[in-house]
Amino acid sequence: MQSPRFSAGTRVATALLLAGLASIGLAAAMRSGYAIDPQRAPTTPSMPAQGSAALAPIDPQKWQDQQDMTWADYHPIPGVDWADPSRAPGRALRVALIAIDFPDQPFVVTLPKTSDLFGNPQVDPVRREDVPRFYADFFGKPGPFNHGHTINGFWMEQTDGQVGIPKIDAFGPYRMPRNLFEYGLNEYKQQSGCPTGFTCDGRMEPDADALWQKGAGAGIAKSYDVILRIYAGYDETGVWQEFGEMKFKSKDDIPAEWGNPDTTKPRWVVSRYVPWTAWKAGAQQWGLSSVRQGENSGTITHEIAHLIFHIGDNNNNPYVEPYRRVGSGPWDLMDRGSFNGPGGPHRRFVVPASEGAFMPAEMMLRSRIMLGFVRPEQVLRLSRNGLAASGLVVATVGARETEPSASALAGITVALDGEAPQDRTPPCDINKDPLCAGAPNWNDYSVEVVQRIGYDSFTPDSGVLIAKNKQKPDNSCGYSCFTWVVDAHPEDIRTLDFKRPDGTPVMRTIADYRQLNDALFHAGLGSGSAFEWEDTPNRLHFYVLDVRKDGRGILAYTVGVRSLDGAGPQARGVALAPPAAPKAPGSTAPLAFTLTNTGKAGATGASIHPQDATPLLGSDIYRLSVSVDRPGWSARLQNALAAVKAGESTAVPVYVTRPPGGGAPATITLKATSESDPTKTATARIVAK
């Protein structure tokens, strides 16, 4: 295994990093090499600044935990309202909503406010005959209960208007022939909890569809793309934990009202992920990709993705050992990003379902490309061998929630091409290493930008999202997986999940999807995150170089990627010039050094990469460091990287602080080194008084 490369200025943070990694295994975190951003700019370690104010980072990481989010965290996409019913989609999905209840379970929304065992509903009672229309409007029309957001708005935003659900036809209500528990206990080895005299082997869809077709006409299902069966009660996925281990100290402490109506049987039942939950919670049906959803379910968009686009899950079981890290977590609709929304995962029991899971994340770049949600010209497609031949690429990537501007891309992919094996990551054991990504059979890397606007308002951070992907999912991760987010902070996030009834804290496991809350990369020094990622075995280095916002407040990042095996045909060079005048006493303005790329372009073919990347091959990336030769002085940078086109120059600001009361003059030294050719360096000095 090759050791990771730590960038200039990073070594000062190495000891802290290693301590943080101890709990998850150093070898796991170092497998491909993380370059962790130092929390301050490089300066002479033996000469710390005295009395100097903190230098503000250019791109601070400000991740927010899901359970701290409220509707106030929603930020609309400037200039567009995808939920506007007057917007016509390119493809209109035809949706039928069938509302069904049971002899033992009325519709929750028909009950007095907050009257059931789960503390629902959150609205005044709705008449039974009005329930189908209530839910059709809740999911389909902007209104006060859904805060103006609809499943139509999600798909219109996700596909840039290509796919939408402009209308939902409502049918019912229909009374099912069997009790809810006869359907709900027919999964995950729960049949032992079936009350005596009943048979818990029901499949909800055939019975519901038979009632619908009897009332609306045989063959009516052919008129619809999606049949959305809303059933009275709850999805077990949203209640098993909250009304199991979070509510009761043990399975023996479950009271009778939460237990089996057959008092000869336990008051608990096994659940999908854990040995027990309250019988009342476990007797609910688990939502599946048939788009069968309880009244608390906000994951309808996720289930529609399964049904219409034939894309699978990318999620794990975070509750049992051996722990296996989540794939894409809060950043992806097909992982636990489907749980995003106010209050996060522990607010998925609310009826109507307007909190956790109601505002899912967008799909990640791999899936959006495969499904045609981004146009080919919006994505820069590179290859590993191509980078070795062409030299590094510098490009601008815009926020995934918006149409990219003329100067920005929707994302970048880098194919792991060349001789087999294409993925050269050293093998690891998913049963011993919780951070193991499974078999080394990944096909490419992707780079995209997330901004907390639109439906992504309820992702935990804005920044650069780097991931590796495979075209065909497999189970080598310990679950079906096809996208693996590169975590800028692989160490345990050490965050409370919940407290047991006796007050015992329960921390999130290393496999919890919220471990990726702080995964995004950020530009510059001192951000609290990393600004680069080097995959040594796969011979690739990714950089986050700069960040900007346009007049609408939309994010765009300048990013770079290079091969570790070739620098291209360009002639590399660098020059530095000091400021024209030294820093005047009392001045707080930075010293502006001038960095020039003295290199020259080389001849590259348009076919080196899967698409012509020639316009983006004209830059070099330089690593910067600064020092000062007098005690009491400090010299700091906001960014340790700079990208400059051949023949062009850019200013590098250096922030200098004097000791209190002045003192002897100090020499400030700035150094720049080419990442493409480390033998090309330049140094400039200036004396400050």
Q: Residue 234: pLDDT above 80?
A: yes
Among all chains, which residue has been given the structure tokens 């939920």? 83
pLDDT value of residue 36: 39
* pLDDT classification of 542: cutoffs 50, 70, 90: very high
pLDDT value of residue 406: 80
Token pair for 654: 């250096």
Instruction: Kindly report the backbone phi and psi dihedral angles of residue 671, in degrees, each rounded to the nearest multiple of 5, phi listed first.
Output: -125, 140
The 10s digit of each residue's pLDDT in 149-208 is 999 999 999 999 999 999 999 999 999 999 999 999 998 899 999 999 999 998 999 999
DSSP code of residue 676: S
* pLDDT classification of 1: cutoffs 50, 70, 90: very low
| Mean pLDDT, residues 537-548 | 98
pLDDT value of residue 21: 34
| Dihedral Cα 343, 347, 348, 350, nearest 10 deg | -120
pLDDT value of residue 288: 67
pLDDT value of residue 28: 37
pLDDT value of residue 581: 83
Length of the chain as a residue count:
689
The 10s digit of each residue's pLDDT in 421-477 is 999 999 999 999 999 999 999 999 999 999 999 999 999 999 999 999 999 999 999
Q: Residue 13: pLDDT above 90?
A: no
Which residues fall within 8 angstroms of residue 343, CB to CB, at 6 or more apart?
A: 66, 67, 69, 70, 350, 355, 356
The 10s digit of each residue's pLDDT in 260-289 is 999 999 999 999 989 999 999 999 998 766
pLDDT value of residue 194: 97
Q: Residue 48: pLDDT above 70?
A: no
| Mean pLDDT, residues 224-252 | 97
pLDDT value of residue 148: 96
Q: Residue 40: pLDDT above 60?
A: no
* pLDDT classification of 26: cutoffs 50, 70, 90: very low
The 10s digit of each residue's pLDDT in 303-332 is 999 999 999 999 999 999 999 999 999 999
| Mean pLDDT, residues 350-366 | 97
Give a three-class secondary structure readout of 389-454: HHCCEEEEEEECCCCCCCCCECEEEEECCCCCCCCCCCCCCCCCCCCCCCCCCCCEEEEEEECCCH
* pLDDT classification of 37: cutoffs 50, 70, 90: very low
pLDDT value of residue 407: 84
Residues of the chain with CATH 2.60.40.10: 35-61+566-688
pLDDT value of residue 659: 86
pLDDT value of residue 403: 87
pLDDT value of residue 469: 98
The 10s digit of each residue's pLDDT in 470-528 is 999 999 999 999 999 999 999 999 999 999 999 999 999 999 999 999 999 999 999 99
Q: Are 448 and 410 in contact (CB under 8 A)?
A: yes
| Mean pLDDT, residues 224-234 | 97
pLDDT value of residue 663: 76
Q: Residue 24: pLDDT above 50?
A: no
pLDDT value of residue 660: 83
Q: Residue 224: pLDDT above 60?
A: yes
The 10s digit of each residue's pLDDT in 646-666 is 999 999 999 999 888 777 899
CA-closest candidate to residue 645, choices 558, 578, 577: 558
What Å distances lie between residue 483 and 43, 141, 376, 410, 487, CA to CA? 38, 33, 20, 17, 12
> 35-61+566-688, superfamily in CATH?
Immunoglobulins (2.60.40.10)
The 10s digit of each residue's pLDDT in 603-660 is 898 999 999 999 999 999 999 999 999 999 999 999 999 999 999 999 999 999 988 8
Pick the range with the lowest mean pLDDT from 46-50, 374-378, 667-671.
46-50
Counting residues of the chain whose pLDDT is more than 70, the rounded percentage is 92
| Mean pLDDT, residues 533-548 | 98
| Mean pLDDT, residues 574-583 | 91
CA-closest candidate to residue 167, choices 128, 225, 212: 225
DSSP string, 278-324: EHHHHTSBPPBTTTEEETT--THHHHHHHHHH--------TTSSSP-
| Dihedral Cα 410, 159, 352, 356, nearest 10 deg | -20
Q: CB count, 10 Å around CB of 606? A: 9
